[in-house]
Amino acid sequence: MHVPVLSREVIEYLAVRPDGTYLDCTAGLGGHTGQIAQRLETGFVMANDRDAQSLEMARKNTLEWGERIRFHHGCFTGLEKALAELQIAKVDGLLADLGVSRYQLLEAGRGFSLQVDGPLDMRMDQSEGVTAAELVNQLAEKAVADLIYQFGEERRARKIARAIVRARPIRSTLHLARVIEEAVPRTGRLHPGTLTFMALRIAVNREMEELDGLLEAAPRLVSSRGRIIIITFMSLEDRKVKQCFQRLARLGQARILTKHVVRPSVEEVRENPAARSSKLRALEIAGTGYPVPN
């Protein structure tokens, strides 16, 4: 069974009730979904993911609790409509784990990895949108550099963009990784193309726009005293979540449950190195008796 990151902390902060209704915005392979479902009796969890292949694997991984799960294929910006179709006004808890699954990274045909050769795709939903290949081969050099700098926070973005344009057409993941490595040699443990690959994935999937949409809608989707739990893996995402939570708290619309960001334990990182950069923030939507802000 797939073990998700910060699983103990997620369940603790969600405070799952046996009769509650929950929304897992990023079901992935079903790790968090299954852990929520097994604590339910009359309630259920809606498991959403924009990756149809991952969602199908999540179904198989959670068969034991299948009657407590409703699966939905779609992006964050479609969640409000999806809940309405299930005649759900609000949920008792909302979870979003913004990490990329190990399955996606290791599946060569998905194009996420710079360690296995495959087509430069990177789309979470392979039925729509532009591919990473289209971006690196068609955008102007300045646009490539801006994309890498904005979404990857890569200081060497201009040098990398110049190398990419000169090497066009970029044919595959390993071809792109090799072009970057030749342009900016390795200086530490990480491959020099890591931030560029991350930036392309974010751009292809419009991840920042989707996160903005989720943060805007989440307070409407969660009931009074309900919880919002978001796990991030990048500073760009974490800043957005932190600022949104702080704004809701200032307005008296919510209470921040995590005074400091929650990180995985040493033991968890040892067992699952992919959890190393994860950060969890939790929020409770305002209910009766909440203090009015000054």
- Residue 24 near residue 47 (C-beta atoms within 8 A): yes
Residue 289 pLDDT greater than 70, yes or no: no
Location of each CATH 3.40.50.150 domain in the chain: 7-103+207-285
Domain 7-103+207-285 matching CATH 3.30.590.10: the answer reads no
pLDDT tens digit sequence for 76-116: 999 999 999 999 999 999 999 999 877 777 788 899 988 88
Q: What is the predicted pLDDT for the residue at 292? A: 46
Q: How far apart are CA 205 and CA 220, in angstroms?
A: 24
Rg, Å, the chain Cα set: 20
- Say which residues have a Cβ less than 8 Å from residue 68's Cβ, sequence separation at least 6: 37, 40, 43, 44, 45
Location of each CATH 1.10.150.170 domain in the chain: 126-204
pTM (predicted TM-score): 0.93
Average pLDDT score, the chain: 94
Residue 271 pLDDT greater than 80, yes or no: yes
What percent of the chain lies above the pLDDT cut of 90? 86
Domain 126-204 matching CATH 3.40.390.10: the answer reads no
Q: What is the predicted pLDDT for the residue at 105? A: 77
CA neighbours closer than 13 Å in the CB half-sphere of residue 271? 10
pLDDT tens digit sequence for 221-233: 999 999 999 999 9
Q: What is the predicted pLDDT for the residue at 208? A: 96
Helix and strand numbers, DSSP H then E, in the chain: 13, 7
pLDDT tens digit sequence for 15-48: 999 999 999 999 999 999 999 999 999 999 999 9
**pLDDT band per the 50, 70, 90 thresholds, residue 126:** confident
Residue 290 pLDDT greater than 70, yes or no: no
Place of tokens 């949104």: 244
